[in-house]
Amino acid sequence: MMAMAATKQEPEREREEEAAEEGGGTELRRGPWTVDEDLTLINYIADHGEGRWNALARAAGLKRTGKSCRLRWLNYLRPDVKRGDFTADEQLLILDLHSRWGNRWSKIAAQLPGRTDNEIKNYWRTRVQKHAKQLNCDVNSKRFKDAMRFLWMPRLAERAAAQHAAGGGGGDVSALTMAAATATNTGAASMEMANDEYCSPSSVVTTTTSSSSSLTSESTTHDDKAAMPAVNGDWAAMQCADHEFWSTASALQQLTAAGADHQLLFQADLPLQDLSGWVQGFSEGVSPEILWSLDDIWRMQ
DNA sequence: AATGGTGTCAACCGCGACCTG
DNA sequence: TCAGGTCGCGGTTGACACCAT
């Protein structure tokens, strides 16, 4: 991602630099930042600290608005900005937090150290809304939320567990996800679940049946209707891209494991719209307030 | 090889909240 | 108290890369 962005901007930067040299005016610059501008901003902040962005922009000699400087620093130049694709943990956390807080990007970003609100917002718009489009439904519709809850999030949980089991990919993110989940949970049972199980990623895979013994009556309903498979050998081949998860085969596999009628499911290649209908059926009786909370995902494992 | 469509992401814009004199 | 300045957030845009035809 970083490399792509860098190569993408190089020709643009050359043009911008030429224009800047030719112009020499005092009007504010806009558009992509040049390397020199970046260095100027980095050096100035290293010496004087951040904040007071308008004054900073003037003092540093940057022909940029304070807003532009702030954005460049926070979203790109800050040393702790994390680059690269979102891990399964992070994706899961984003979905969960968005279900709770909506488009509060900065609030969500605060739970993912190194990630910016802009990055998360872009992720949501490009990836999540794409899935909604594939399902031919609105991102805010119950149909889509059900698909998220019963298809995508369990899938992400699987991937997160696999990454942790492999000893890579997630890093400390699981711990922060747990912390965030704990912070956003309101019930004692949720806290218990977060502390006992979420902090141990491998348990996500192995507690499929054991965790159900401690379920509340409500979550037992979830378990009965929408129990998801734990590790399945065939799934190993599906652990790469998100879109794979939406393949008919994968969805069918999950739905079948969830108790759907084999005969009906395998009669033909069901289009995704029909699959989402199945999902909707499973979701009956599930509390509607938070439609894809991490709590429910862990209960289903 | 050319072209049009689509996805991605950095950057900008508008607005409301907050701060300061 | 109030007006102007500043900050931060969420929505939107524009440019580029990639892919399909």
* A62-66, A92-96, A97-101, A224-228: least confidently modelled range: A224-228
CA–CA separation, A69 and A126 (whole Å): 25
Q: What is the mean pLDDT of residues A141-147?
A: 75
CA–CA separation, A140 and A124 (whole Å): 12
Asked, for residue A114, whether it belongs to a domain, the answer is yes
User: What is the CATH number for A44?
Assistant: 1.10.10.60
Q: In chain A, what percentage of residues exceed pLDDT 90?
A: 0
Is A90 or A292 the better-scoring residue by pLDDT? A90
Considering only residues 179-208 of chain A, list those whose CB is below 7 Å from strand B.
Answer: none
Pick the last residue of a domain from A77, A96, A123: A77
| Distance from residue A123's CA to nucleotide C7's C1', rounded to whole Å | 25
Asked, for residue A278, whether it belongs to a domain, the answer is yes
CA–CA separation, A179 and A185 (whole Å): 10
Pick the last residue of a domain from A77, A106, A140: A77
* Closest nucleotide to A67, Cα to C1': C7
Report pLDDT digits (tens) over A5-20: 333 333 333 333 333 3
For residues A44 and A63, membership in a common domain is answered with yes
For residues A127 and A205, membership in a common domain is answered with yes
pLDDT for the residue numbered A244: 39
Considering only residues 108-147 of chain A, list those whose CB is below 7 Å from strand B.
Answer: 118-119, 121-123, 125-127, 130, 133
CA–CA separation, A182 and A169 (whole Å): 22
CA–CA separation, A299 and A301 (whole Å): 6
Q: In chain A, what percentage of residues exceed pLDDT 70?
A: 45
For residues A196 and A105, membership in a common domain is answered with yes
Asked, for residue A136, whether it belongs to a domain, the answer is yes
Whether the per-residue pLDDT at A197 is higher than 80: the answer is: no
For residues A122 and A257, membership in a common domain is answered with yes
For residues A27 and A105, membership in a common domain is answered with no
pLDDT for the residue numbered A37: 87
For residues A58 and A141, membership in a common domain is answered with no
pLDDT for the residue numbered A174: 52
Q: Which nucleotides of B are covered by protein (CB under 7 A)?
A: 7-14
For residues A26 and A172, membership in a common domain is answered with no
Print the domain residue range for A41: 2-77
Asked, for residue A43, whether it belongs to a domain, the answer is yes
First CA to last CA distance, chain A: 32
For residues A152 and A292, membership in a common domain is answered with yes
* A86-90, A108-112, A212-216: least confidently modelled range: A212-216
User: Per CA to C1' distance, which residue is closest to C5?
Assistant: A54
Whether the per-residue pLDDT at A161 is higher than 70: the answer is: yes
| Distance from residue A137's CA to nucleotide C9's C1', rounded to whole Å | 27
**Cα–Cα separations (whole angstroms), residue A159 to A90, A208, A242:** 11, 15, 10
Report pLDDT digits (tens) over A238-255: 333 343 334 433 444 444
Instruction: Please give the mean pLDDT across all residues of chain A.
Output: 58
For residues A15 and A135, membership in a common domain is answered with no
For residues A258 and A111, membership in a common domain is answered with yes
Instruction: Count up the domains in chain A and report the number.
Output: 2
Asked, for residue A82, whether it belongs to a domain, the answer is no
Pick the last residue of a domain from A35, A55, A77: A77
For residues A252 and A167, membership in a common domain is answered with yes
Mark A262-278 as b/e (b = at least 16 C-beta within 10 Å).
eeebeeeebebeebbeb
For residues A24 and A135, membership in a common domain is answered with no
Is A172 or A161 the better-scoring residue by pLDDT? A161
Q: What is the mean pLDDT of residues A156-160?
A: 78
CA–CA separation, A9 and A98 (whole Å): 31
Asked, for residue A83, whether it belongs to a domain, the answer is no
> Under DSSP, is residue A233 helix (H, G, I), strand (E, B) or coil?
helix
Considering only residues 140-169 of chain A, list those whose CB is below 7 Å from strand B.
Answer: none
Please tell me whether any atom of strand B lies within 7 Å of the Cβ of A67: yes
Report pLDDT digits (tens) over A91-132: 888 888 887 788 888 888 888 888 888 888 888 888 777 777
Asked, for residue A157, whether it belongs to a domain, the answer is yes
